[in-house]
Amino acid sequence: MSTKCKEQVREAGMWPRYHQCKRNAIKDGYCNQHHPDTIREKAEKKQAEYIQKRDNSPVRKLWRACDQLEQADLFADDYRKLRPRLVELVDNEDPWLGWLGLVIKQMDAHLNAWDSCPKV
C-alpha cells in the first residue's frame, strides 16, 4: 500500500483552505515535488537567477562602472605621488631598472588620457 505525500497544499480561492497532497510519498513521507530537498533546490535556483538578473541590470552595471572610475582616479593619484620616486630610480641608471623607464612612459600616456577625460 502506498502512502500519500504528507504536504498540506493550499487551495485556490480567497479563504485559506488546505488539502493533503494527492501524490504518492516517495521519500521521507513526501512526493518529489514537496520533498524539502526539492523545495530548497528550487529556492536556491530562483535566488541564483535573481542575483544574476540583478547583477546584469543597467543600474548595477552603472554602479560597477562608477566604482571602477573611482578606483582609476585613486590609482592615478597614487601614481602621481609615486612618480617622482620612480623617476629617481631610473635616473640612477641602474641597468636593471631600464624596464621601469618604459613603464613610466606607458603610465604617463595612460594618465594623460585619463586626465583629458571629462568627469562629473
Q: Which residues bind Zn ion (CB under 5 A)?
A: 5, 7, 21, 23, 31, 34
How many beta carbons lie within 10 A of that of residue 5, not counting itself? 22
- The whole-angstrom separation of Cα 12 and Cα 34 is 18
Q: Which is nearer to Zn ion, 36 or 98 (CB)?
A: 36
Q: Which is nearer to Zn ion, 19 or 60 (CB)?
A: 19
- Least CB distance to Zn ion at residue 37 (A): 13
On whether the CB atoms of residues 3 and 29 are closer than 8 A, the answer is: yes
Q: Which is nearer to Zn ion, 12 or 59 (CB)?
A: 12
Give CA torsion, residues 77, 79, 81, 83, to 10 deg.
-150
Three-class secondary structure of residue 9 per DSSP: strand
- Least CB distance to Zn ion at residue 26 (A): 9
- Least CB distance to Zn ion at residue 25 (A): 8
Q: Which of 55, 4, 65, 63 is nearest to 33 (CA)?
A: 4
- Least CB distance to Zn ion at residue 20 (A): 8
On whether the CB atoms of residues 39 and 26 are closer than 8 A, the answer is: no
